[in-house]
Amino acid sequence: MASAPSDPPQLVTTKILIAGGFGVGKTTMVGSISEIRPLRTEEPLTDRGVGVDDLSGVERKSTTTVAMDFGRITFNERLVLYLFGTPGQERFWFMWDELALGALGAVVIADTRRLTDSFPSIDYFERRGLPFVVAVNCFDGADRHRAEDIAIALDLDSGVPVLLCDARDRESTKEVLVSLVEHVMRWETPEQASQ
């Protein structure tokens, strides 16, 4: 009864995370390629935040929210890709697990003037075993570094792509995402996955 033959085609949704330090260009990158202005929605702080946020004395207060930004790319009527900017503040780590669950992979945006800001994101994805690429946002006035030097400075495993990008530029963002998906596909092939 509910499943009439006229059911619309199955919609598949997938997601990529855009991570990096505060102010590094996450929302800018999402906005450069999203078909919609980056949207903001809110996630309730649940018991997963316990231990991160001190809830003692306010145990019943479970409606604290954290805003998160996301964009969307509709490839066709069956396939939609979401881009989620990860919350910058470390107190919202608990949200990363939900965001990362089922994600294809992640882009870690780095700024050469403060590379250390990208360490927490890189550590998180390495620990979780989620494939990622590093996109170095070339801010005006920042020194240009060679991608190889940056890979060394970040102590990345060999094989993790490092790209220079301009997070404001659609073509540049597209290149970063293509590079990520290619990396994920290499990662997913059984010969390499078993290593």
CA distance 145 to 81: 31
Residue closer to other proteins (CB basis): 65 or 116: 65
Cα end-to-end distance, the chain, whole Å: 49
Structural tokens at position 15: 């997601």
CA distance 91 to 49: 8
Strand 12-20 with 79-85, pairing: parallel
* Residue 168 binds to other proteins (criterion: CB under 8 A): no
CA distance 70 to 73: 10
Q: What is the DSSP letter of 53?
A: B
Residue closer to other proteins (CB basis): 29 or 154: 29
Min. distance of Cβ 150 from other proteins in angstroms? 23
Binding mask 71-110 for other proteins (x = CB under 8 A): -xx-xx--xxxx-x-------------xx-xx-xx-----
* Contacts of residue 171, Cβ cutoff 8 Å, sequence gap at least 6: none
Q: Are 136 and 147 in contact (CB under 8 A)?
A: yes
Q: Tell me, by CB under 8 A, how many residues bind other proteins.
A: 47
CA distance 102 to 116: 27
Estimate to the nearest angstrom the gap between the alpha carbon of 76 and the chain centroid.
Answer: 22
* Residue 163 binds to other proteins (criterion: CB under 8 A): no
* Residue 11 binds to other proteins (criterion: CB under 8 A): yes
Q: Which of 33, 110, 122, 136 binds other proteins (CB under 8 A)?
A: 33
Stretch that binds other proteins, among 22-30, 118-126, 149-157, 171-179 (CB under 8 A): 171-179
Residue closer to other proteins (CB basis): 12 or 152: 12
Binding-site ranges for other proteins (CB under 8 A): 1-2, 4, 8, 10-15, 33, 39-44, 46, 62-63, 65, 70, 72-73, 75-76, 79-82, 84, 98-99, 101-102, 104-105, 129, 170, 174, 177-178, 181-182, 184-185, 188
